[in-house]
A and B are shown apart, each in its own frame.
Chain A
Amino acid sequence: MEIDLTINTDLARRILTGFIRSEIERIGLQRAVVGLSGGVDSALSCFLAAEALGAENVLAVRMPYRTSSPESLEHAQMVIDATGVQALTVEITDLVEPYFRRFPEMDKRRRGNMMARARMMVLYDQSAAFGGLVVGTSNKTEILLGYSTLYGDSAYAINPIGDLYKTQVWQLAEAMGVPAPIVHKAPTADLWAGQTDEQELGFTYRQADRLLYLLVDRRYTPQECVEAGFDEALVRAVVQRMRRNHFKRLMPPIAKLSNRTIGYDFLYLRDWGT
């Protein structure tokens, strides 16, 4: 099985900038807010938003915690400089530390989720102040694996890059001129010092993307993926992650009582009436 995840970056760029422009302008706004982590996903979303709306209409918000790597902040600055977007730095340390002090037993997972949600709060508040929509930075790989914080980094108004696998994000980022050190560094959520995604997940994005492509896009069964040459333990781990984290991809279910229930038989697009 030949797996080729190569995309036409000109076409992707045209569609995704059109999407951002359309979905923001049709509700009467012109501006967007992006949380810049210093990683490639948020860098790409920021580049796309700047191209779609004009740099002056995009606000990039850096939200470091006191242990965040200085490199992340520098890389975010490179994106701000390269795109010319407006920028703001809001430390979340003072937001979360009082809570951490009250619950000293919090492990790094709880603390990481708390920080992700504090960033969401800042981003949504800044979006109200700036008069723009929050543009998401989650790619298809992390959405499928559920590698995100519910109501944290998974909270946004629109997401231009959620149908691109991580390896495709790298490709489009490179084509759009995202600075090379950002594209080529090891992906990290930077929730604690030295963390990398691939170490935490236990497999590489290149492996995961090829496997997810067979499972999701080509509808291979897990067994067929093994027959196609994927390690059985990897297949099992990825399939399990996908299923267990499905709740993160859905609106929470509402218990049906009436004849017309939101989510089941009250069906309108977000763009209703625009």
Chain B
Amino acid sequence: MSRLTIALAQINTRLGVPEANLEKHLALIEEARRAGADLLVFPELSLTGYVLQDLAPEVAHRPTHDDPLFAPLLQASKGLDVMVGFVEEGPRHRFYIATAYLSAGAVVHVHRKVYLPTYGLFDEGRFFAWGDEVRAFDTRFGRVGMLICEDFWHASPPYLLWLDGADILLFASASPGRGLSDAPQLESARWVERINRAYASLFTVFVAHANRVGFEDGLHFWGGSTVFDPNGELLAQAPYEDEALILQELDLRELHRVRARLPLLRDERTALVQRELARILAQPNRLR
């Protein structure tokens, strides 16, 4: 498949009411399908809302065919591929911030957030367990990787996905806006756009970012979801602040063209990285 029409669902959510959010998901999946999308990406915790605190265990689900949230979503994934955000309850009742990639009625991959921000306004480490894997996976469009918000504030998870074969990075956020100055966008919004563009450029991959909108108490989610191509060029951006469904066709042959011009992947010195990383990590107090 050389073309992929990707859609981003930039939505507001109801806090701690998965059934209401499910209805919105199903409506948007249908809308995206009719508009010709092949893949629809929802933001972080799109089925639950973000600042869950003590609600986290109450809204947790398992991505299985008999789960009341996932049964209809899996059914809907027969029309197009869907990536959703939810709280996953693990087999031993650990609770994760997770995304699930659903396709043709099956769960293709689940990513559990590996970086839980627990500083400043964030308190995720208090309520959630840390994911422990960063894995790319195969889809009908090629190899893909998913990350959730703070995961891509760190450089290593996108780098690992790149080495694991991902040519399309799917990022989901519920990013609270912060840092008002005289600039036309918040500091946090500008930061996220900069690093998304940087990953697309450095790794010569497609980077699609679905961010939330709306408010939870005083926190404001700014939207502005983006799609960057392997040249680091912005292909599409949803509006700031407002709910939106945007579609963008990706010409996957652009990967061939960019990498013929700029063989960063070909020349990546993975053995050197491994050797030096092993040496650095063997040093005591390396982060002091």
Q: Are B182 and A270 in contact (CB-based, < 8 A)? A: no
Q: Confirm or deny: A149 has a beta carbon within 8 angstroms of a beta carbon on chain B.
A: no
Instruction: Please give the distance in Å from B9's CB to the nearest CB on chain A.
Output: 19
Stretch at the interface among A17-25, A74-82, A239-247: A17-25
User: What chain B residues lie within 8 Å of A15 (beta carbons)?
Assistant: 177, 180, 220, 241
Closest A residue by C-beta to B56: A267
A14-B241, A15-B220 known; A274+B14 contact, CB < 8 A:
yes
Q: Are A269 and B186 in contact (CB-based, < 8 A)? A: no
Stretch at the interface among B28-36, B71-79, B142-150, B209-217: B209-217
From the candidates B16, B17, B54, name the one contacting A267 in the complex (CB within 8 A). B54
Q: Are B241 and A6 in contact (CB-based, < 8 A)? A: no
Q: Are B182 and A7 in contact (CB-based, < 8 A)? A: yes
Q: Confirm or deny: A103 has a beta carbon within 8 angstroms of a beta carbon on chain B.
A: no
Q: Are B217 and A23 in contact (CB-based, < 8 A)? A: yes
Q: Confirm or deny: A254 has a beta carbon within 8 angstroms of a beta carbon on chain B.
A: no
Residues of B206-256 at the interface with A, using a CB-CB cut-off of 8 Å, are: 214-218, 220, 240-241
Q: Are A8 and B220 in contact (CB-based, < 8 A)? A: no
Q: Which of A11, A22, A23 has the most CB of B within 10 A?
A: A11
Q: Are A270 and B53 in contact (CB-based, < 8 A)? A: no
Q: Are A11 and B186 in contact (CB-based, < 8 A)? A: yes
User: What chain B residues lie within 8 Å of A271 (beta carbons)?
Assistant: 15, 215-217
Contact with A along B43-75 (1 / 0, CB 8 A): 000000001011100000000000000000000
User: What chain B residues lie within 8 Å of A269 (beta carbons)?
Assistant: 15, 51, 53, 216-217
Closest B residue by C-beta to A159: B218
Q: Confirm or deny: B260 has a beta carbon within 8 angstroms of a beta carbon on chain A.
A: no
Closest B residue by C-beta to A164: B180
Q: Is the interface of A mostly helix, strand, loop or mixed?
A: loop
Q: Are B53 and A6 in contact (CB-based, < 8 A)? A: no
From the candidates B14, B183, B220, name the one contacting A19 in the complex (CB within 8 A). B220
User: What chain B residues lie within 8 Å of A272 (beta carbons)?
Assistant: 15-16, 55
A11-B180, A12-B180, A15-B177 known; A22+B215 contact, CB < 8 A:
yes
Instruction: Please give the distance in Å from A261's CB to the nearest CB on chain B.
Output: 12
Closest A residue by C-beta to B17: A273
Q: Confirm or deny: B284 has a beta carbon within 8 angstroms of a beta carbon on chain A.
A: no
Q: Confirm or deny: A71 has a beta carbon within 8 angstroms of a beta carbon on chain B.
A: no
Q: Are B182 and A8 in contact (CB-based, < 8 A)? A: yes
Determine the distance from Cα of A12 to Cα of B216 in the docked complex, in whole angstroms.
Answer: 17
From the candidates A4, A19, A22, A23, name the one contacting B182 in the complex (CB within 8 A). A4
Determine the distance from Cα of A4 to Cα of B183 in the docked complex, in whole angstroms.
Answer: 12
Contact with B along A216-244 (1 / 0, CB 8 A): 00000000000000000000000000000
Residues of A191-210 at the interface with B, using a CB-CB cut-off of 8 Å, are: none
Instruction: Please give the distance in Å from B127's CB to the nearest CB on chain A.
Output: 8
User: What chain B residues lie within 8 Å of A11 (beta carbons)?
Assistant: 180, 184-186
Determine the distance from Cα of A23 to Cα of B216 in the docked complex, in whole angstroms.
Answer: 8
User: What chain A residues lie within 8 Å of B55 (beta carbons)?
Assistant: 268, 272
Q: Confirm or deny: A2 has a beta carbon within 8 angstroms of a beta carbon on chain B.
A: no
Q: Are A8 and B215 in contact (CB-based, < 8 A)? A: no
Q: Confirm or deny: B181 has a beta carbon within 8 angstroms of a beta carbon on chain A.
A: yes
User: What chain A residues lie within 8 Å of B51 (beta carbons)?
Assistant: 269
Determine the distance from Cα of A273 to Cα of B184 in the docked complex, in whole angstroms.
Answer: 33
From the candidates B16, B181, B240, B241, name the one contacting A273 in the complex (CB within 8 A). B16
Q: Are A8 and B181 in contact (CB-based, < 8 A)? A: yes
User: What chain A residues lie within 8 Å of B218 (beta carbons)?
Assistant: 19, 163
Closest A residue by C-beta to B53: A267
Q: Are B215 and A7 in contact (CB-based, < 8 A)? A: no
Q: Confirm or deny: A107 has a beta carbon within 8 angstroms of a beta carbon on chain B.
A: no
Closest A residue by C-beta to B186: A11
Determine the distance from Cα of A268 to Cα of B182 in the docked complex, in whole angstroms.
Answer: 33
Q: Confirm or deny: A10 has a beta carbon within 8 angstroms of a beta carbon on chain B.
A: yes
Minimum-distance CB pairs A-B, first 9: A267-B53, A22-B215, A6-B182, A269-B217, A267-B54, A271-B15, A269-B51, A270-B217, A271-B216
User: Which residues of chain A have a CB within 8 Å of any CB of chain B?
Assistant: 4, 6-8, 10-12, 14-15, 18-19, 22-23, 163, 265-274
29 A-B pairs, CB-CB below 8 angstroms?
A4-B182, A6-B182, A7-B182, A8-B180, A8-B182, A11-B184, A12-B180, A15-B220, A19-B215, A19-B220, A22-B214, A22-B215, A23-B215, A265-B54, A266-B54, A267-B53, A267-B54, A268-B53, A269-B51, A269-B53, A269-B217, A270-B217, A271-B15, A271-B215, A271-B216, A271-B217, A272-B55, A273-B14, A273-B15
